[in-house]
Amino acid sequence: MHKTWILGLIGALALTTSTFADAQGTTLLEQMSSAVAELAEKAKPATVSIKCTSCALDGEYQNPFDMFGDDFFKRFFGPQFPQGQQQQISGGSGFLVSSDGYIVTNYHVIKNATQVSVTLDDGREFTATVKGSDERTDLAVVKIDVDGLPFFHFGDSDHLRAGDLVFALGNPFGLEGTITKGIVSAKGRQDLGIATYEDFIQTDAPINPGNSGGPLINVRGEVIGVNTAIFSRSGGYMGIGLAIPSKMVQPVIDQIMNNGSVKRAYLGIMMQPIDKELGDALNINKTDGILVSDVVKGSPADKAGLQQGDIIVQCNGKPVKNVTKFRNEIGMMSPGQSVQLKVMRCGKPKTLTVELGCQNDGEVMKADLTHKLGIELENLTPEWAAKLGYPSDVNGIVISKVKPGSPAAMAGLRPTFLITGVAVDWNNQKPVKNIAEFDAALQELGDKKYIILIVRQQNYQRYYTIKLN
């Protein structure tokens, strides 16, 4: 009797505890659900749909209902229609950053648009004016003439951690006012060939065609990124989305809103990473820092005394370990700003102060083209010539690195190939003996869709045609 009573009491307590736990769990889920719903209610009114009209020529028409055309890093636009001039309608997303109608989106959303219209979450539609854009970060600002609008504030993307909850807003496949949830998968994704300056946040928050230009927000409703691209082999969501971090977005859009354009700082050097092989060859025990492979004559770096062969190990007291990150940091600074560089020269430390200049169109074009080609270059030194077996009378620049999957790689270029000239056109073929002459030849290309390199491989020389995306 006593034993039966004890067992009954234990069963009752277990049932009560289980019921209480279920109730507690349900309450927590309800609280979480309510918090996300409130976040969506606050965020959606500041997210907009963008529709662009433009004229497409020579097969560049894109299907507005299938906003992808590539198999790799997908921009939110679509496959080509037949040749001939046609009206192109494309779409994307954006978000308000001021109460008087300033909207941030991607550059590729409004690229070549002859008319831009913005639809708010409440259904009102306005014609927008493009206030400025920056192709090198894939950002743009448009404006509508209306006041009293809800808008987003920016959060600090530097404080993000892998695993943090994030939410993507936008208009996937034209379905307006959509929000999806995920986490930060990784930070600092670079060298993807999407933009000149890259430092992407990777997220698994579902992002689909039409989300491009929309905000990626944290749990406080702050914008910590601009949705820009996805990795997909099917044209749809596959768990890898990429967003431009807010720390890169803010200085760019501030310049556009205040000045209508973006001016970047300029150092004036060619750089390359120090891998183990190069470190061993130079008798460097560790591979921290980046190697200065060339210094542009008359540049801020040249005036400050930076030399070819210097190894930059610190910038403003912080370690320098990555070429792309260092280039991004310099590019995000203001012209006229001074930076302190610690370099190793012949094994001895040296500190230099450089007053940064301002990139001009020629310098930007050279940086863009080299990046788009996917190659790194070095002058043909006697050491390189001896290593590659070239006689002393051979001139050119050595391809030291080719990025896999890049236009240069697809064209067949490989490391150790020697670029001896650039064919601006058939009647204007420029021989190049060093990187400076190569840069000068690139400036004559203008807006050509192709670049023709004259390349030598041992005793053979041939033309390589590379299409620029």
pLDDT in tens, 87-112: 677 788 999 999 999 999 999 888 88
Among 46-50, 198-202, 229-233, 344-348, the range with the most confident prediction by mean pLDDT is 46-50
Cβ atoms within 10 Å, residue 61 = 22
Domains and CATH numbers, the chain: 45-259 (2.40.10.120), 265-358 (2.30.42.10), 361-467 (2.30.42.10)
**Catalytic one of 108, 133, 299, 310:** 108
Task: State the DSSP string of 351-363.
Answer: EEEEE-EE--HHH
pLDDT digits (tens, 9 = 90+) for 459-469: 778 888 887 65
Total number of residues shown for the chain: 469
For residue 446, how far is the Cα from the chain centroid? Answer: 23
Is residue 212 part of the annotated active site? The answer reads yes
**Catalytic one of 138, 204, 294, 439:** 138
**Catalytic one of 185, 212, 246, 293:** 212
Cβ atoms within 10 Å, residue 131 = 17
CA distance 205 to 400: 38
pLDDT digits (tens, 9 = 90+) for 3-41: 454 445 445 445 544 555 566 667 888 888 888 888 888
For residue 319, how far is the Cα from the chain centroid? Answer: 22
Cβ atoms within 10 Å, residue 266 = 22
> Is the model's pTM score more than 0.85?
no
Q: Categorize the per-residue pLDDT at 78 as very low, low, confident or very high, splitting at 50, 70 and 90.
A: very low
Is residue 117 part of the annotated active site? The answer reads no
Is residue 108 part of the annotated active site? The answer reads yes
pLDDT of residue 60: 41
CA distance 308 to 419: 20
